[in-house]
Structure 1
Amino acid sequence: MTTPALSVLDLVPVRSDQTTGDALAATRSLARVADELGMRRYWLAEHHNMPAVAATNPPVLVAMVAAATERIRVGSGGVMLPNHAPLVVAEQFALLEAAYPGRIDLGIGRAPGTDPVTSFALRHGAGGVTDDAVEQFPHYVDNIITMMSPGGAGLRVGGTMHALNATPAATSVAPVWLLGSSDYSARLAAEKGLPYVFAHHFSGRGTAEALALYRENYRPSEEHPEPRTFLTVNAVVADTHEEAERLVLPNLLSMLALRTGGRLAPQRLVDEAETVTIPDEHHALATGMLDRWIVGDAKAAAEQVRELATTYDVDEVMLHPVAGAYAGSAADRSVTREETLRLLTAALD
């Protein structure tokens, strides 16, 4: 079976024993571990107004992680474009690419990544309403790519052409990836000849169909003559399967609350999660999610990663490490998430 390269997706989780500053420190520590282990890339998500997630601003987080690491690629997984003016995104990632040439990825998504009220607040005064931004998504993607390029874009206003550059003197451009959890982004990425990632870690369903659609309809571009994709998956790896099952509980409870309309709160510690009884009506949902995650000891987890890479024909698997923490753990680190990376990397060698 295929032995893929490993990467990391980070939502910057906030536990019940952490401040936002603690969670950011834990992310820096986790990113340094990924860098030291030789992982390929480290991406940071965009979610808003969630008590258990501090990943609200991907470009700020990308800058923080790139500064804390040496060689790993750092990117957004992803910037939710309906929330932002395209020029702002182009400016942010042009600067990041200039500061860390050859190490920056710009992953772009079409979903708002938040609730309708927060979505309105994000877009208010930022160039249009969310529905318009979703409709204009393909056009905005083109604009961002063009504005980040050394030649920039031309904007015709009042019969006069005006130059529009994301940065004054670009010498390289961060590659753009389209992200999605439906067929829409797969079709668009294929049409535009862009790399594409399906959110397997979030959806877990329709992955094979989306990737097949992307590959079958791919139109080669100058920058990307071949289709390029990889797989994302939630993962908890520990010394034993039993330990991994304990460590996955806090994230499982958070996802159940999100999917069933329950109360959202900072992520519980393992000790707190073990006191919670999952309602009978939610057992099937919990089991279905766990079946799509990697939860186990290093040997079993490595086999699952190889099987996923072979099944979906990818040379890279992006781990979303979701191991919880025990009471008394250092607040400024996520030791069990770091251990997931270390154990799995060693088992795949």
Structure 2
Amino acid sequence: MSTPFSILDLAPIVTGSTSAQALRNTRELAQHADRLGYTRYWLAEHHGMPGIASSVPPVLIAELAAATSRLRIGAGGVMLPNHPPLVVAEQFGMLEALHPGRIDLGVGRNAGIDPRVAEALQLSAETQSIGDFTKRLAELRNYFNEDSLAVPAAGNRPPMWLLGSSVRSAKMAALFGLPYAFAHHINDQQTSLALDAYREAFQPSAELEKPYALITVPIICAATDRHARKLAEPGALAFVELQKLGVGQSPRAQLPTMEEVENYPYSSAEREIVNAYFESQVIGSQETVRTKLDDLIRRTQADEIMATGMTSCNKDLLRSYELLAGLYADGACVWTRAPEHADADA
């Protein structure tokens, strides 16, 4: 059994760098992924976060689709409460018309955690409700029909995905008959439950005959386990800083440099957070990464793995994805399970 591999990118901004450099890094990484044979490359939508440059996926998708040749480029995803469905349909219909067969439209409901962003986007409790999201999703799908008023969306329908990190979102994806992208990197404890619920409740649709689910997995691959962990430490410190939002403190704004990591005075509680963070990651040498991924695919039966990783040096991330691609069969980014699992899966 084989499993294709893809990439999710947040375009992180490193301390002392700029959003312009982060976007250039993203373009370089997408071109690298295109050459290596990855299946798709998605951009996340985040607002009001000084450490993330990916705020307008359609603009970035247009740039990356033009800069690559075969890679599927998509949104992972568009947060539907933030946008009128007509506008989203027009944007992605145009992208599909310009790059036929290479655009993905992933949609989600989470508008973000900063109340200032919600106010700036003029969001209300109603616009962030499940009921409103369901109506927006149905409206968006209809705009891609041939008789739609959305131009050029009519007749230019990119594959639509539903994003989520819960059993509830899994069941919604199943009800609409859409492919499902589960945020394993956010809620790894519910991955199997959500995917099982999705498969059990799935209703075939015009877009999809049988369930198809990918999971987003934090992956850093390097020559040795020790080096891979070192490369992942800026992401771990960023995670520690993010926890400060929950206790009313101000976290650092951008992805830490290696120097900041080395000089950071971790408390014992923060060390525990870091250790828990690494437990949920796939970090290590090629051998270690293969072992962890093979086990994860076996346990979840995910149809596709979408790798996501953050390092303070883009060259290290390029190398990480290159080493990851080196594990694939026949030079293509399709995972072939290790021989020891072959009999169990037969």
TM over 0.5: yes
Aligned to 2:312: 324
Report how many aligned residue pairs link the two structures.
324
Residue 253 of structure 1 pairs with residue 237 of structure 2: yes
Aligned to 2:33: 34
Distance 1:96 1:169, change over 3 A: closer
Distance 1:90 1:130, change over 3 A: farther
Amino acid at match of 2:259: D
Do the aligned partners of 2:105 and 2:160 also contact (CA within 8 Å) in 1? Answer: yes
* CA apart distance, 1:19: 1.1
TM-score by length of 1: 0.89
Residue 177 of structure 1 pairs with residue 161 of structure 2: yes
* CA apart distance, 1:198: 1.1
Aligned to 1:285: 273
Residue 86 of structure 1 pairs with residue 61 of structure 2: no
Q: Comparing 24-33 with 231-240, which one deviates more in the overlay?
A: 231-240
* CA apart distance, 1:3: 4.5
Aligned to 1:113: 112
**Where in structure 2 are there 5+ consecutive unaligned residues?**
330-346
- The SS at the match of 2:42 is strand
| Distance of 1:105 and 1:278 partners within structure 2 | 41
Aligned to 1:237: 221
| Distance of 1:88 and 1:223 partners within structure 2 | 21
Distance 1:210 1:27, change over 3 A: same
* CA apart distance, 1:338: 0.7
Amino acid at match of 2:320: T
Distance 1:287 1:171, change over 3 A: same
Residue 217 of structure 1 pairs with residue 216 of structure 2: no
* CA apart distance, 1:130: 4.9
Amino acid at match of 2:38: M
Do the aligned partners of 1:45 and 1:79 also contact (CA within 8 Å) in 2? Answer: yes
Residue 131 of structure 1 pairs with residue 120 of structure 2: no
Identity %: 39
Amino acid at match of 1:309: I
- The SS at the match of 1:4 is strand
Do the aligned partners of 1:82 and 1:130 also contact (CA within 8 Å) in 2? Answer: no
* CA apart distance, 1:242: 1.1
Aligned to 2:211: 227
| Distance of 1:215 and 1:82 partners within structure 2 | 26
Amino acid at match of 2:326: A
* CA apart distance, 1:305: 1.9
* CA apart distance, 1:55: 0.8
| Distance of 2:62 and 2:23 partners within structure 1 | 12
* CA apart distance, 1:113: 2.4
- The SS at the match of 1:173 is coil
**Where in structure 1 are there 5+ consecutive unaligned residues?**
153-164, 326-333
Aligned to 1:155: none
For residues 221-260 of structure 1, what are the alpha-carbon distances to aligned partners after superposition, in whole Å with 9 as ceiling and x for unaligned? 1221101111111111111111111111111111111123
Do the aligned partners of 2:86 and 2:140 also contact (CA within 8 Å) in 1? Answer: yes
| Distance of 2:283 and 2:183 partners within structure 1 | 18
- The SS at the match of 2:32 is helix
Aligned to 1:336: 316
Please give the root-mean-square deviation of Cα atoms over the aligned residues, in Å.
Answer: 1.5
Distance 1:169 1:139, change over 3 A: closer
Amino acid at match of 2:34: D
Distance 1:188 1:337, change over 3 A: same
TM-score by length of 2: 0.90
For residues 249-285 of structure 1, what are the alpha-carbon distances to aligned partners after superposition, in whole Å with 9 as ceiling and x for unaligned? 1111111111232513211111221111321112322
